[in-house]
Structure 1
């Protein structure tokens, strides 16, 4: 009877040891961690699937839950003897890069699209460990398509758009801000965004202000920040159209005078002689009137007219040649040359 009891105790002790070992090993199997896999649109993703255990592996099952598909959709089964088996239509973008003998079912997923974003789970069928799993959340990043558009408003007192900076179709959405330079406090920015059905977002910011000629040519910078790409800076010079301003006739030499004004677009300059055509000995080079001689018949009133699509302004120059003296007069300057 004592022998029987000792034998029974020995069997119970062995079973207890085996169960304890199996329990410990099962707890180790269940310690598989989840994680995010973040990749750029069109690139390749590594979907990790590995476990450390002495349990016997019968198969590794891959399933996914993505938008527009049934949840926990089984798409691939890996078996030690039979290899890979696709549950539905074969997707050649999935490449098995693991090793069944090492209980590694890792996949390489190439040319990922936005439609592929979602949850990917590999499930190990183990004995006696059960079915531990590893989940990876596939996150797709999309860099923005950037653009900076400037406008050419006419000088005025009403607030109008001066420039628009756009970061289109990005995921996650991009941030858009301005460095205004000398225009700080004179213009304001207005931010808008549109979310698209595919999960991307277009963000754009417009600079608004009252267009004055002092703004023309001022540098502004648009700064675009996104998780999907490094910071990008786009630059432009503000453009404002305005008619010619005050016209000045500037002496370049004793026999040449240049007509100057400020206009955008640049004004064309036309020299004429009051009451008659320009003499052949008087030349116009660009905006400059040139006298090739000091003959008395060149005396007279000359007009400089500056014109662009938004207006025109004039100035007059009176020239008089007599006894070796050259006299000229305009509405802002009176000079005598001998």
Structure 2
């Protein structure tokens, strides 16, 4: 009996302590705090982390815990721009399932497992407005609640564009090309590859911050437009965290008037007119003092003679013209054919005495010595040379001409 009595007496204090904990005494409060702390220490932390998603794609919001406590509910709340802090938008319960708050947003999909204490969500078609903090809350017994915050960041690839200009040749700096990386997040980097234009152009940068957190970056090539720039290739290189490096290309265009006009002999019956200009010059053939002979054909920039006929001899002009100016040159064409041999012989017999007398006169007057070198220079012109005597339009001076002689 004593042994059992001892046993009974030893249990009584424990029963009294249990009844005492039902009250709000200080000993009971301390005991409850101890039990809760011990239970919390036995529970692992909630697994979650920061998430980054591309605009328009989907984001996985992970949230999972490992604990032996009983799970009664999973709650999701968000703190985003334009919304109230800690806005509860979704509740997950074992019997009821998903319950949306403040309007249904079916872009959120529960892809976790309640029994495994996995509250992971999938958010489809993300927008910039979805960026913010998302909190996953587990309601556990007896430990209470556990939560973890995941920050969702949205990446936005830039809208790229390369625009080129067509300035007129001049001495003032003007834009030549502009490269734009618009509305990107984070901001994109823009740089140029300019090749032979190094030292002739410079870059002007501009950045614009938008209210939605995106940035537009622009870079413009500026320089004095010269005809040597025309046709030069430049490249714009755009780099960003959201996309691979992108290269855009353009050809610099500078408008200018025709340069020096050249006339080239392509054959004994064909002449070609050439001049560089942007846009390409219109080449116009004409005959000084009279219209072109009907038998002479103009094919593009080429003047074609039907035969070596004396009546086709004369002073011909080629004019190069575009909206920004014009230039021209003259060419004296002289045909001498074998059909005129008799006429030349008769003319020679009649003029021979005159030439002899004139020669004696010039010799005695010492003028022949100065005239002979000039005569030789005039007769030694080569018909296959580049005949160019271009002059600005409107300049008041006699045209320089080159005589072109054809003979059988």
Could you tell me the TM-score, scaled by structure 2's length? 0.76
- 1:123 pairs with 2:148: no
> How far apart, in 1, do the equivalents of 2:152 and 2:388 lie?
76
With 34-43 and 54-63 compared, the bigger mean Cα shift is at 34-43
C-alpha deviation, 1:34, in angstroms = 4.3
1:152 and 1:240 in contact (8 A); partners too: yes
Question: Cα deviation per residue 1:65-94 (whole Å; 9 max; x = unaligned)?
Answer: 000111110001111122111121111111
1:320 and 1:327 in contact (8 A); partners too: no
- In structure 2, the residue matched to 1:225 is 239
- 1:101 pairs with 2:115: yes
> How far apart, in 1, do the equivalents of 2:292 and 2:13 lie?
131
C-alpha deviation, 1:29, in angstroms = 3.8
Task: Decide whether aligned partners of structure 1 residues 85 and 303 sit closer, same or farther in structure 2, where only a CA change above 3 A counts.
Answer: same
- In structure 1, the residue matched to 2:278 is 264
Choose which of 78, 89, 93 in structure 2 pairs with 1:75: 89
Gaps of 5+ in 1: 13-18
> How far apart, in 2, do the equivalents of 1:29 and 1:185 lie?
67
- Structure with greater strand percent: 1
Choose which of 216, 220, 224 in structure 2 pairs with 1:202: 216
- In structure 1, the residue matched to 2:204 is 190
> How far apart, in 2, do the equivalents of 1:8 and 1:262 lie?
117
Question: Cα deviation per residue 1:176-211 (whole Å; 9 max; x = unaligned)?
Answer: 111111111211111101111111111110000111
- 1:301 pairs with 2:342: no
- Structure with greater helix percent: 2
C-alpha deviation, 1:31, in angstroms = 2.6
Task: Decide whether aligned partners of structure 1 residues 94 and 297 sit closer, same or farther in structure 2, where only a CA change above 3 A counts.
Answer: same
> How far apart, in 2, do the equivalents of 1:54 and 1:81 lie?
20
2:331 and 2:403 in contact (8 A); partners too: no
- 1:52 pairs with 2:52: no
Question: Cα deviation per residue 1:115-143 (whole Å; 9 max; x = unaligned)?
Answer: 11100111001112221112111111111
CA RMSD of aligned residues (A): 2.7
C-alpha deviation, 1:44, in angstroms = 1.1
1:25 and 1:53 in contact (8 A); partners too: no
C-alpha deviation, 1:337, in angstroms = 4.4
3-state DSSP of counterpart to 2:129: helix
C-alpha deviation, 1:6, in angstroms = 7.5
> How far apart, in 1, do the equivalents of 2:229 and 2:388 lie?
29
Could you tell me the TM-score, scaled by structure 1's length? 0.91
- In structure 2, the residue matched to 1:15 is none
Choose which of 333, 342, 367 in structure 2 pairs with 1:319: 333
> How far apart, in 2, do the equivalents of 1:259 and 1:130 lie?
95
Choose which of 71, 76, 90 in structure 2 pairs with 1:62: 76
C-alpha deviation, 1:25, in angstroms = 5.7
- 1:114 pairs with 2:128: yes
Choose which of 38, 42, 46 in structure 2 pairs with 1:32: 46
Gaps of 5+ in 2: 18-32, 341-380, 390-401
1:30 and 1:132 in contact (8 A); partners too: no
> How far apart, in 2, do the equivalents of 1:206 and 1:314 lie?
37
Structural mapping, 1:154-303, within 5 Å = 154-303=168-317
Task: Decide whether aligned partners of structure 1 residues 235 and 27 sit closer, same or farther in structure 2, where only a CA change above 3 A counts.
Answer: farther
Residues matched between the structures, number: 333
C-alpha deviation, 1:32, in angstroms = 2.7
Question: Cα deviation per residue 1:207-266 (whole Å; 9 max; x = unaligned)?
Answer: 001111000010000011111211111000101011001111112122111111111111
C-alpha deviation, 1:23, in angstroms = 5.0
- Structure 1 runs (4+) greater than 6 angstroms displaced: 4-12, 19-22
> How far apart, in 2, do the equivalents of 1:297 and 1:337 lie?
13
1:321 and 1:327 in contact (8 A); partners too: no
